[in-house]
Amino acid sequence: MTSLLKIVQTADEQLIAEFFQASVGQWRSERRYYTLPEGETKEIVSIVTIQFLAQGDVELQKLAQLHELSDLGSLTCGAKVTWDSTDLHNARKEAVGMTIFGALGNILYRDRGFATTKPVTAQYNFPHPQTLCLRTEYNNSVFEEEIKLIGDKYRTRQSIISRAGEQLMIGQYLEKRIQAQSSPSI
């Protein structure tokens, strides 16, 4: 049974590495958030930059330390994600930020959550090799997210935020790659 679990975890880790590598570059993310049950809508445009982090990267070691993992080199891969967001209707700056993701088995470690600056973990799975599903829980809230790669130039995302079994917000995103990361010269 242990060997089967290890095989599954290795497959998950391979899929997450391929997904992060396919996501590398700069994206224009058009986001629409629906606050429930009122239905208030907010539209945000973000420039999102994604960098792949290989096992042993110093950022992943810091993340492992933050999560008090015994082996600081245990995170198999990860991503550094930065964003710069603006409210579409009033051109007001919404948020600028950065987060680090690191994978181990079917757990995704983060240096911060959606609604907290504290480190969090998420369960992840792949219903399809191009579709990453995340489930993160903290502070009595559940954050479910699906990110789907569509060819080389597009991604769709959907986030659902719930508390006490009641959905509070739905976020829908269309992301277009505006710049791929250049390959290192040989």
Considering only CA atoms, which of 166, 121, 157 is closest in space to residue 28? 157
Q: What is the pTM of this model?
A: 0.88
pLDDT greater than 70 at residue 126: yes
Q: With 0-12 CB in 10 A as exposed, 13-18 as middle and 19+ as buried, what is 55?
A: middle
Distance of alpha carbon 134 from its chain centroid, rounded? 8
Q: Could you tell me what percentage of the chain is helix, strand and coil, using 3-state DSSP and rounding each to the nearest 5? A: 15, 55, 25
How confident is the model at residue 181, as a pLDDT? 67
Q: Cα(68)–Cα(109) distance, rounded to whole angstroms?
A: 11
Q: Cα(146)–Cα(125) distance, rounded to whole angstroms?
A: 10
7 pLDDT band, cuts 50/70/90, is: very low
pLDDT tens, 79-121? Answer: 999 999 998 888 888 889 999 999 999 999 999 987 888 999 9
